[in-house]
Amino acid sequence: MRHEVYITPNEVKVDGKALNHKENGAALLTELYRAHIGDYPKFFKMDTLCKLGFVASELLLQAEGAPRFEPREDRAVVFFNRNASLQADTAYQATIQDPENFFPSPAAFVYTLPNIVTGEIAIRNKYFGETSFIVLEDFDEKTMMRELQNAFQDPMTKSILGGWLDCTDENHFEAKLSII
Amino acid sequence: MDDLIYTLKQQIIEALNLEDMKPEDIDENAALFGEGLGLDSIDALELIVLMEKNYGIKLKDPNQGKEIFKSVSVMADYISKNRTK
């Protein structure tokens, strides 16, 4: 069975089944973390793109039900989006915008690359396979499928945790992930 | 000093996103790194920024942080002796 997770600021579906929730936006991600995960305090330090990818991957892997946290090289993590790390970039820019109040934030800076989230997921799950984050002009299923098929050219890769993971700000994001 | 320790705890919670923590939850004598609050290297950099932003203290040598960031009370003591704002 192919497992899928879909998350927007006001909707959560796992394998097509809606998950109950009270909160919306970034608060929804925290609610999902507390209700379904809850053992990874680093979550609170992540930017919204990372929180989204982390929560979506956790729900997906829980749905898969396979043994977790055992080192493996056969699973790749491949994500796509349109806005790269825009929210983190904006947050970091805010810390250096004013010459009179110039205090670059290291915590904001570390998330100013979209592929940080692929690393977070790989570290959490002890995945030692390929990880990549591809920025597209728009949601393009054809291109995404082609890139995912390309990832399987690596003889080590037997499965991919991947899909669309986009975030503009705390109230605008979309995750559509599956295990292929 | 007690006021500074309390304010410092509030600033640390905010700067390091220590969700669900209140100043009362932090033991001012407990280690900030390792066993204590379990902070990491990025947190150490944020503490350096916190000291400069709020108290005008610039650490010339990042290795100084090892001593200064031992605990909230050690940090508060250093701030009270070196603050420029």
Domain ranges of chain A: 4-179
Residue A36: closest CA among A17, A56, A16 = A56
pLDDT in tens, A7-31: 999 999 999 999 999 999 999 999 9
CATH class of A4-179: alpha beta
**Is A106 close to B38, i.e. CB distance below 8 A?**
no
Q: What does the buried/exposed string (b/e) look like for A142-163 if buried means 16 or more CB atoms within 10 Å of the residue's CB?
A: eebeebbeebeeeeebeebbbb
Chain B residues within 8 A of A45 when measuring between CB atoms: 16-17, 42
pLDDT of residue B21: 84
Chain A residues within 8 A of B53 when measuring between CB atoms: 103
Distance in angstroms (rounded) separating the CA atoms of residues A140 and A144: 6
| DSSP SS3 for B33 | strand
Q: Suggest the residue from B12, B18, B19, B39 to mutate for an interface test with chain A (most A CBs closer than 10 A).
A: B19
Residue A61 has pLDDT above 90, yes or no: yes
Distance in angstroms (rounded) separating the CA atoms of residues A96 and B64: 25
Tokens (6 digits) for B57: 């203290």
Q: Suggest the residue from A103, A109, A110 to mutate for an interface test with chain B (most B CBs closer than 10 A).
A: A103
> Could you tell me the end-to-end alpha-carbon distance of chain A, in angstroms, rounded to an integer?
9
For residue A175, list its beta bridge partners. A7, A165
pLDDT in tens, B31-41: 888 776 778 88
Residue A136 has pLDDT above 80, yes or no: yes
B20 or A104: which carries more pLDDT confidence? A104
pLDDT in tens, B59-73: 888 788 888 999 999
B35 or B42: which carries more pLDDT confidence? B42
Give me the interface pTM, i.e. the ipTM: 0.80
B20 or B52: which carries more pLDDT confidence? B52
Q: What is the DSSP string of A73-84?
A: SSEEEEEEESST
pLDDT of residue A39: 84
B28-to-A45, A67, A175, B68, B72 alpha-carbon distances in Å? 22, 40, 41, 13, 5
CB-hemisphere CA count at 13 Å for A90?
Answer: 12
pLDDT in tens, A86-112: 999 999 999 999 999 999 999 999 999
When CB atoms are compared, the residue of A41, A106, A110 closest to B49 is A106
Tokens (6 digits) for A108: 């904001």
pLDDT grade for B17, boundaries at 50, 70 and 90: confident
Residue B26 domain boundaries: 2-82
A47 or B39: which carries more pLDDT confidence? A47
Tokens (6 digits) for A172: 């605008």
What percent of chain B shows pLDDT beyond 70? Answer: 98
B43-to-A82, A171, B63 alpha-carbon distances in Å? 30, 26, 14
pTM of the model: 0.91
CATH of residue B32's domain is 1.10.1200.10
Query: Residue for token digits 């990491």?
Result: B40
**Is A107 close to B53, i.e. CB distance below 8 A?**
no
